[in-house]
Structures are given as C-alpha cells and as structure tokens.
Structure 1
Amino acid sequence: MSLFNLSIIFLLIILIFSIGGVSIIFFTRFSKYFSGMKFKEFADNTTEGVENKVKELLAEKDDKFNKDLQTVKDLMTRQYDKTMQETVKLVTTNDLLRKQNKSTEDAINIAKQEFSKLTNVLSGTQSRGQLGELMAEDIFRSAGFIKGVQYDTQQVLENGTRPDFTINLPDGKVIHMDSKFIWEYFQPLMDEDSEESDNKNREKKFFDSLKRIIDEVGTKYINTKSNTLDNVIVFVPSDHILSFIYEKRMDLIQYAQGKKVTITSPGNLLLVVGVIKEFMKVVTIGENQNQIMTILDELKKEWDNYIEEQSVVSRALKTATTHFDYLEGRRRKALDRKFNAVKDLETQLDKNPDKALDVSIIENVIEDEQEIKSNEEERNQRQMTLDN
C-alpha cells in the first residue's frame, strides 16, 4: 500500500509542474497584454485555481483510495474468516481421525492378542479338546439339556474307554459323542503359498487321520449289548472343516455313515440334539400313554358332571326368575287391590259413619285372590312337570 501512495504523490507533483509550466508559457506569450496590477491579479487567480484543482484531485484520490482500502479490508476479513473456519474444520477432522486411528490401533491390538490366544489354544492337543467340549456343552444347554439328566461327560465304559459325552435316552439307552478337532492336520492346508504337490500330501494326511477317527470311535463307542444305540456322534468344532470334508471327500462321509458314525459341527449339532430331544418326548409319551388315557377319562367324567350340574342350576335360575316375575307382578297387584279396598272402606266410613259399609268391595277382592291362587297352583304344577 505505501508504493501505491508514493505513485499517486509522484503523479500529483508531475501534474503541478505541468500546470506551472503551462502557466509560465501562457504568461510569457500573453505578458504584453498584462501589466502592473492586472498581471498580479491574473497570477493570483491562476495560482488559486491550480491549488483548488490540486485539492479537488487530492480529495477525490483520497476518497477513492479510502474506498479501495475498505474494499480490500473487507475482502481480506472475509478471506481470513473463511480461512479460519476451514482451519478449524481441518483441526477438528484431524483430531477425529487421530482418535479413530487410535481406536483402530487398539482394536487391532486386541484382535492380535485374541488371535494369539486362539493360536496358543489350538496349538495344544489338550486345549483343543477342551475347546471342543466347551462348544458342544454350550449347544447342549441351548437345546435345554441338563447335565446329569439328559447327558453326562467323561463316563468310563465297560471296555475302559471314556467318550466326551453320553446322551441318556429312554429305556436306559445311551448314545456316545466324541469331540475331534483334527487341527494339526487341517492347519497346513490353510497355507496358500505351498506347492500343489504339498497340498495333496497334506490333504491325504488329513483325510487319513479322519478315517482313523471314524474307525476308532465306531469300534470303541458302539456296543448294543451295553444299551448303546447302533450309532455314535463325532463332533468337529469347526463348520469350515466339515464343509471342507463335504466338498473334498463326500465318499468319506458315506464311509462314516456305513460305520454308523455321524459327523457333526456347531452348525448342525443343534439340529441333531433337537431330533434326539423330540424322540425322547415321543417315547416318554408312549410310556405314559395308559396314565394319560386314565386322566383324560377322568377329565371327561368331570366335564359331564359339570354339564349336568350346570343344567340343574340353569333350571333353578329359570324357576327363580319366573317366581320373582310372578311376585313382582300378580302378587304385588293383589296386595295393591287389598290396600285399595281397605282405603275405600275407610273413605265410606269417613263420609257416612252411620251407614252400613259396602262389603261387596272386599268380597270382590277375595274372589280375585282365590282365582289368582288357583292360577298360581296350576302354574306351579306345570313348572314342576317341566323341571322333571
């Protein structure tokens, strides 16, 4: 802004000198026409005019400069406010991103810790077995099974073997279930960088181990002489592993079925347990069929008694309603007539104390009463006939 002011002042100086030069030329050319006081007056007028013109130009430039300066100030103020708003937004966004990044890092660290724990669990044979047993027991509880009632764990059999679970069925029957993770053979198959030949060897080891498990549990846990069903359940605690078996070796699933071995996973064990539970309900109902039929017969007898008593009460209510209507109607009217007859006699006595009373009024009331009583006896007789 200082350079701009200097330029304006410089232009004004040039303008002043230009006007002065024009004035000198004008004075030299026209000096012969002016002399004495006239020349002095002309010079004064010219100088005053130049000064006024310069003042006007300076005032005009100063106003324009002030307006331009205010415009620039307003523009800079708006730009500054906008820049500050954008800066605040950037700072806020950066703070949120920093917090989100911290939360993401924490979540990643927690996931790493959990994955490390899971890896440690899966790396040990005993810990893998415990994990499978816990998952199976959670499924049993979600199906409504109670430990010690519908199922038991780690029971020693006559042949010295000990299945992970024994499901208790009606008539003293049982079905055994063993949890097999087979993770040590399945984990190498997850290596995507291995050669195709290596994968084939690993798959062979995995399926060979599964076949050995099928033969083993079918031999150890199926004994119909010891009240076991002709079937045994193998629980693989991974839906992914079971899906891999179905995809790669369906023939091995069929082989297991031939050995009376049912392979399950968390995804379908609940269905198997549900089928067993419904079977237990059906058998229980069959065992108690005679007792249920006896209860149903007694219930029918009580229902018949209820219907009969309800009919008696209904007839009694009907009779009471009829009697009440009669009492409210005819008997009340009969009483009203008697009271009216007595009132008429009192009126006669008050009007003519010495005159004999007209007893025909009472005789008519008595005759009406006898007729009403006769009608009432006939109605009661008909009601009794209807009740019987």
Structure 2
Amino acid sequence: MGYAAIFIAGVILGAIIVIIINHYRQKEMKESFSAISLDALRKNSEEFLRLANQTLSTQTQTGVGQLEEKKKLIDQTLDGIKGELQKVENSVKEFDSKRELAFGAITTQLKNTAEQTNKLQGTTDKLQLALANTRARGQWGERIAEDILQLVGFVENFDYTKQKTQEATGTRPDFTFVLPQNLKVNMDSKFPFDNYSNYINAESNSDKDSYKQKFMSDVRKKIKEVKTRDYINPEENTVDYAIMFVPNEQVFCFLHENDANVFDDALKDKVILCSPVTLFAILCVIREAVKVFKLQKTTGDILQLLNAFNKQWTDFKKCMDKMGEQIEKAHEEFGKLKTTRSNKLEIPLRKIDALSKQKGLLESSLVDEEPELESSIEGESEEEP
C-alpha cells in the first residue's frame, strides 16, 4: 500500500511537473511566436509600405503624365474655342457694321423713294389736270406713240407720216404707217379718258359702277368713230384694219378685266385695240415685213444682174475659146518658124562659114578637099524635106 501511494504520489507529482513545464513551454512558445509574428508583421508592413510607396510613386508619375496630356488637350481645345469665339466676335462686329451700313442705305433709299413718290404724285396730279382737256389728251397719246416709234427706229416721212390728210376722203389720221407694196395702215391716238379718271377718283361703289359703264360706252363709241372715219379706204391703199391706240397699259388691262368682248367687237369692226406694248410689237412686225420685202426686191434685182452676168460670161468664154484656138495656131506656126525654117536658114550660113574657114588653106589642100565639100553639100541638100 505504501509503495502504491508513493507511486501514485510520484505519478501525480510528475504529472504536475509535466503540466508546469508544459505551461512554461507554452508560455515561452507563445512569447516566441508573438515575437516572431511581430517581427514578420513588421517586416511585411515595411515591405508593403515600400511596395505601396513604389506603386503610388509610379501611379503618381503616370497620373502626372496623363494629367499633362489632358491639360495639353484641354489647352488646345480652349485655344480652338477661343479662336472660334474670336471669329464669332469678328463676325458679329462685321455684321453690326454691315447692318449699320445697310440700315443707312435703306434709310437713304427710303428717303429717296419718298421724294420720288412725292414727285410722282405731283406729276400724276399735273397729268390728271392735263388729261382733263381733250386736246391735251390727244397730244399726250401722240407723244407716247412718237416715243414708241423712236424706240422701234421709225423715221417720220419715211416709215410713217403724222396728221396727213387723205386725198380721197379728206380725213386726217393721227399716224399713217407705210407698208410694203405701197400699202398703208392708219392709227388714231385719241382715247376717251374722262370717265375712267372719274372712276378712279370716285369714292362710292355706286359712282364707280356708273363711271365704269360710261367709260366702256365711250370706248365703244370711239371704236365706231374710228370705223366711220374712212381710215380703211382701198383708194388710199390702206389695209383692211385700222389701229386704235390706248396710251396706257393700266387702262388696257382694265378693258380686259371688265369687258373682254370689246376687243372681239372691235375686230368685227376691223379696228385693232393696242396698248403701248402691243403697238411696239406691231411696229416691229411692220419693220421686219418692210425689211423682208426690200430683201425680196433686192434679191430679184440681184438675180437679174446674175442672169445678165451669166450671159456676158458665156459670150466671154466663147471669145476666149476662139482666141485660144488662134493662139494655138499661132503657136504651131511659131514652132514651125523656130524649127524647120530656122534650120533651113542656118544651112547656107554653115556652108558660108565653112567656105570662109577654107579660104585661108593651101591650094593643094583646097583641091584635095573640094570633092568632099561638094559631096557633103549634096548630102545636106538631099536631107531637106
């Protein structure tokens, strides 16, 4: 029992010692591990901080470079925007300058227009007063017609006559235009403006209608008057129509708008109503017709001259042919004279020349050569045709 108790006590004591030793070992290991952990943590922290600083430095440098590039791009963009803004500012200034000039020009033009309008109004008033007189209206219509004639290029007493009395009827048209083949066309330039002027100045619609009807009636009466004045007269070589001149385009348009049948009725009476524009066209047609007629007449004269020239040319060729034949015969005779006759005349000359050369020779030589000379002379005589 005693040994068992001692053994148990020893075991317990050993266990306690082991526990105490383990406790101290664990404590030492914990302290060592803590120290090692702190050292490793410190080293890791330092390495981390170093890497972090290095990475941050690299990124900072990269960021600075990128920021510089972005700054350059932003500066370039700002410079471009600044340039565009400067252009816009210059354009605005230029536009303001031009606008001021334009407004000044418009203002000046408006002033001039107002002045011209006032002058035109004054001229219109004077014209209305002048047209109140029948004689003045006729003179005004004649003046308008003369201006158109000058514009076309007509010459008085050549292309037209003015206020010339017709011998057969005693009437006196305002204008007579000369046509080809001695034909003529007469024109009346006096037009009834009274009721039209009253129509323009009337204030109420009833007055306007009344004056309009009176004006249309005056126009139809004037057409009948032109018809009955013998402006169409075969004895005077006139054409089958006469011209009634309306010296105002506005009045002419008024007739078209309010009574278009008046033109057809006038044509039935062989009277042509024409405004300044249509008169210009008619006169141009007359001018071209006269030119064509003169050209045709000139062409006929030229053809006659060509026929006469052709006849003379034929006679000339015959004479030339005869002269050519005679020249050929003379040339043939001349050839004969130059060849055959000339050769025959030269034969005695050659003989005389030969005799002259032989004259100075010795008599013996002359006697020896005499038969040869005679034989040569006989031979040449036989060769003659």
- TM-score if structure 2 supplies the norm length? 0.49
- TM-score if structure 1 supplies the norm length? 0.49
